[in-house]
Chains A and B, each alone.
Chain A
Amino acid sequence: KQEVTQIPAALSVPEGENLVLNCSFTDSAIYNLQWFRQDPGKGLTSLLLIQSSQREQTSGRLNASLDKSSGRSTLYIAASQPGDSATYLCAVKGSSNTGKLIFGQGTTLQVKP
């Protein structure tokens, strides 16, 4: 049974810091891995999607890496800003394109001005 864990559960940093959020999963047979952002009381916004054959994806100040063999992914946020404050969720999709997403518990990030 696939399990997804995110560390740390919460993180508070001053503005401008570079930071890394971690995600680990127990079953390496995944179709893809996705990072989402969730603001309080809101829905989910997809940030980056990494296919199982890829090692990383980049979008602006965000970079996500995937090491399928070790069951790990990291989300790197460069030059953090107060607007980055949110909960970041990691989700893996099982072995088929139509598979369900299995989510981690999330990392709640606060960036202080």
Chain B
Amino acid sequence: NAGVMQNPRHLVRRRGQEARLRCSPMKGHSHVYWYRQLPEEGLKFMVYLQKENIIDESGMPKERFSAEFPKEGPSILRIQQVVRGDSAAYFCASFTQSGESTDTQYFGPGTRLTVL
């Protein structure tokens, strides 16, 4: 069972461009969380999704950021018109409510976004 996969691992964008970050959860996991780690700061929750539904987006900026987790395919975190302050590491975690280890969120390796 492969772990949580994120791509790209590194992404460079110029100000004003769009960034798309992908997260493939562990097999059988239907819950996905996105977290952001700004330089010199701790990880902060952004959004929690289940298949085709956004459950909690209280940590996501209201402008320019959106997330989806379609029925088929990976979860996508989309940042429009990026600014330098968006430079950070973005981590995805997946979770299941069935089977063993149901209380643990499994983290991917992260996508490091650099905005020039």
B105 at the interface (CB under 8 A from A): yes
* Interface contact B56-A100, CB-CB below 8 Å: yes
Q: In the complex, A91 Cα to B93 Cα: how many Å?
A: 13
Specify which of A46, A98, A104 is in contact with B104 (CB 8 Å cutoff). Answer: A46
- Choose, from B64-72, B79-87, B107-115, the stretch at the interface: B107-115
Q: How many A-B Cβ pairs are below 8 Å?
A: 54
Q: How many residues of chain B are within 8 Å of chain A by beta carbon? A: 26
Contact present for A105 and B56 (CB under 8 Å) = no
Distance in angstroms between the alpha carbons of A98 and B33 in the assembled complex: 10
Cα–Cα, bound, A41→B111 (Å): 10
Partner of B48, one of A45, A100, A104: A100
Which of A44, A89, A91, A101 has its CB near the most chain B CB atoms (within 10 A)? A44
Interface residues of B in 13-66 (CB under 8 A from A): 31, 33, 35, 41-45, 48, 55-56, 59
Q: Is the interface of B mostly helix, strand, loop or mixed?
A: strand
**Given A89-B42, A105-B41, A106-B42, A100 contacting B107 (CB threshold 8 A):** no
B 82-105 binary contact with A (CB < 8 Å = 1; else 0): 000000000101010100001111
Q: In whole Å, how far is B26's beta carbon from the nearest beta carbon of chain A?
A: 13
Give B contacts to A, CB under 8 Å: 31, 33, 35, 41-45, 48, 55-56, 59, 91, 93, 95, 97, 102-110, 112
New contact pairs (13) apart from A44-B43, A100-B33, CB-CB < 8 Å: A31-B103, A34-B104, A43-B108, A44-B91, A49-B104, A98-B31, A98-B95, A98-B97, A100-B45, A100-B48, A100-B56, A101-B33, A102-B45
> 16 A-B Cβ contacts within 8 A?
A31-B103, A42-B109, A43-B109, A46-B106, A49-B104, A89-B42, A97-B103, A98-B55, A100-B56, A101-B35, A101-B45, A101-B93, A101-B105, A103-B43, A105-B41, A105-B42
